[in-house]
Structures are given as C-alpha cells and as structure tokens.
A and B are shown apart, each in its own frame.
Chain A
Amino acid sequence: MKKLSTVALLLALSFVAAVAAVRMTKAGSARDDKPAAVALGAIVPDFTLPDPDGRQHTLASLKGKNGTVLIFMATRCPVSNGYNTRMEKLAEDYAARGVNIVGINANSTEPAGEVKQHAAEKGLTFTILKDEGSRIADRFDAQVTPETYLLDASGKLVYHGRIDNSRAGDAITSNDLRDAIEAVLAGKPVQKSEAKAFGCSIKRG
C-alpha cells in the first residue's frame, strides 16, 4: 500500500515539476518573445549579411582594428535621416583610428535597391548591410533607427544606444557614442554603456 502511495507521489511530483518547468519556459519567453539578445559585456557572435549589391560580408571581415560600430539605420525614418551627416562624419573621423562604422538596414519596407540609392544620395560611404527578415536586428534586439552598438577590439559589446541626445543635431550636450568610442580608444572602461532614445521602430517583416 505504502509502495503504491509512494509511486503515486513520485509520479505526481514529476508532473508538478514538468508543469512548473513548462510554465517557467513560457514565462521566460513571454517576457521578450525573442531569442536571447546580444548582451553588454559579451562577445558578439559573428554573422553574415549582404550589402545592397548582394556581396556577403561577415562581421569578422568588417571589424576595425580598434573597434566596430554597428548602426541600425533607415532610408525613410526622419530621425535616422537626421543623423546621416553625423554618421558619415563618424566614419570619416574614426577610419584612421581603427574604428569601422557599419550600417545595417533591417526595415522590411526598405529594399536593397532603396538602401543603395539612399546611401548614394546622402553621401554615405561606409558599408551598409541589408538585414532581410530582421534576423540580425532580432539578435541584437534592436528596436529603433538609429540605434548603435559599439564593439571593442576584442568584439565585446561595450555600448548600446543613441548616437547623441539631439535628433536635430543643434543641441548636442551628450555625445554618447563618441564618448564610448574615445574610451575604447583610450583603453578605458565606457562610463555610460547604454543610452536609449526615441526613434522610428524597425519594421520587421
């Protein structure tokens, strides 16, 4: 009799454990509905994306000697467009200092041809990749344009967020991305590793 109860108890307990496990998994995924995002302080895993001409690039091949900036950007978002000149200036200013700027367009509404034309019209000379299906945006959990990610020389994510605090560019009092790049170049820890801003949502397919 005792044996039977014990078996029943064990069975029931394993059922409870299973239910709890399922619930916990569900709760975990319900919180963000996405796979785990790239985390601050962690090495960013390599990925491959095409440029608007269809040439494939790996992150490894685009890494700067001293660091890499990934910028999720758009062709039609007024906030992203407000930063075109500043993004190009970043690429110019830091190329010689070993920090490479890479744009990523993850908007399902903006095809590769439009990305290419937009870059030509706005004079953007840095590499821009097309993230079809927003696969890489999902991996970074990028939400808006422009949204930037700074990787140090080792490929570790050390800053995530806005370029600066002024969408119009006329009242910059906090140059968050540049400050982070300068810290990386100086071999110092990044003081402010995250700075959110309002922007256009990335249009996922």
Chain B
Amino acid sequence: MFEARTNMRRILLAVVSLGAALACVGGPGARNGDANAATDSARAAQGASKPSAAKPSSDAAGVPKVTEIKEDGLKTLLNAGAGRERPLLVNFWATWCVPCREEFPDLLKIKGQYPADRLDFVLVSLDDASEIGKAVPEFLTEVKATSLPTYLLNAADEGAAINLVDPQWGGELPATFLYDRAGKLVFKHKGAIRPEELRAAIEQSLGAKPSEAGSQK
C-alpha cells in the first residue's frame, strides 16, 4: 500500500511537473516570438555596419542634429542591437502627435537615469522630411531633448518600415521598443510610455548577461 502510494505520488509529481512545463509554453517565449525574425536578421547583418546610435546629436552651436534615414538606415539602426554593448531603446514619435509631445518629460527622465554608457537611446521622428531643419529640432530644443541621437525616417514604404520594427505594430504613434544586447526585441509599448514599466524592462535588459549573439562574434 505504502509503495503504491509512493508510486502514485511519483506519477502525480511527474505529470504535474510536465503540466508546469507545458504551462510555460506560450508565456514570455511566445510573446517575444515576433521579435525572433528581427533578431535573426540582425545577426545576419552583424558587422555590416557600425552602430550609429552613439553619434553626437548636436553641433557646436547646440542645435539638435537630426539625421534623415530611409528603410535601410532604420534596419542598420535596429540591427545595431546585435551583439552590442548596451541595450537599445528606440522611441518613434512626431511633432504633430500630441501624446508623443506629452511623453517627452518622461523620456528625458529615463535618459537622465540611464546615461549613454549604460543604454543607447535614440529617437526616430516620423515628421515630414521638410521638417528636418524646422519643427523637429525646434521642438527638441524647446523640451531640452538635445542630447538624444535623433533620426527622421523618410521611408518610401512606411508599411515595410513598420514591419521591420514589429510586424504586429499598426504604425500608431508614439511607440517605444527596447532591444537587449542580443538585439532581441524584449519590450514594446504603443502609446505614451508608462515610466515604471519601461524602467523595469530596462533594468531587466541591463541585468541580463551579455547574450549569445555577443559571444557569437
């Protein structure tokens, strides 16, 4: 009888742990599944170009420098996440987007909290290309966001650009994406950021060991 109970317990234990293992399927792994393609392409493109996120973002006069990029530039920017030293935070915004403007104080706090040697943080503006020397730098100056490398995406095919970042993204602004050191998309948020949530994601990406992609170099 005792033996039988032990057997039963064993069976139960085995099955329950199998259940627990199954229960994890579809958890965080599945949620990040859509980021895998980006990671793969990032790995493939590794070494093709230097990460450009660390470029100085303002000229000597202090006017914020905004760099125009197209789809390939965006790809390079995101691919720069592969095997990089620091996680990469990318915020997509536009001067015409009210919630984007409103979240800048929170973005700047994040920037203040995570200096450039810990986190690469770049802005990608979706303003019209004609605003590259006007509305975009003017707004950045106004909100004192001059220390963040800023790009203006002038894509011929916006759909392709959106899919490059995240196929599940509908293109609504603002949108914020965090890539870890392996270039894997580990956090995304559509709409104005919730600072605590973003900070937690950054902390997690900073705490994570340099990933496989880094060691594959």
Interface residues of A (CB under 8 A from B): 1, 4-5, 8-9, 12-13, 15-16, 19-20, 22-24, 26-28, 30-32, 76, 78-79, 141-144, 147, 161-162, 165, 167-168, 173-174, 194-202
Contacts and interface: CB of A to CB of B under 8 A. Distances in A.
Contact of B162 (A16, A20, A79, A198): A198
B172 A197 contact: no
Contacts, number: 113
A5 B8 contact: yes
B11 A5 contact: yes
Given A20-B23, A27-B26, A199 B173 contact: yes
B158 interface: yes
A144 B94 CA distance: 14
Contacts of B99: 201
Interface string B25-37: 1110011000000
B63 interface: no
B14 to A, nearest CB: 8
Contacts of B24: 23
B200 interface: no
Nearest to B4: A1
Closest 4 A/B residue pairs (Cβ): A27-B26, A143-B170, A201-B172, A12-B15
16 contacts: A5-B7, A5-B8, A12-B16, A12-B19, A16-B15, A16-B22, A23-B25, A26-B26, A27-B26, A30-B31, A143-B171, A162-B158, A165-B158, A196-B162, A198-B173, A201-B172
Interface residues of B, number: 41
Contact of A4 (B4, B20, B130): B4
Contacts of A173: 156
B94 A198 contact: yes
Contacts of B130: 168
Contact of B158 (A147, A196, A201): A196
Given A23-B27, A30-B31, A161-B159, A13 B15 contact: yes
B25 A201 contact: no
A138 B173 CA distance: 17
B37 to A, nearest CB: 15
Contacts of B170: 141-144, 147, 196
Contacts of A13: 15
A141 B190 CA distance: 14
Given A23-B27, A162-B158, A197-B159, 10 more contacts: A5-B8, A19-B23, A23-B24, A23-B25, A143-B170, A165-B156, A165-B157, A174-B157, A198-B92, A198-B171
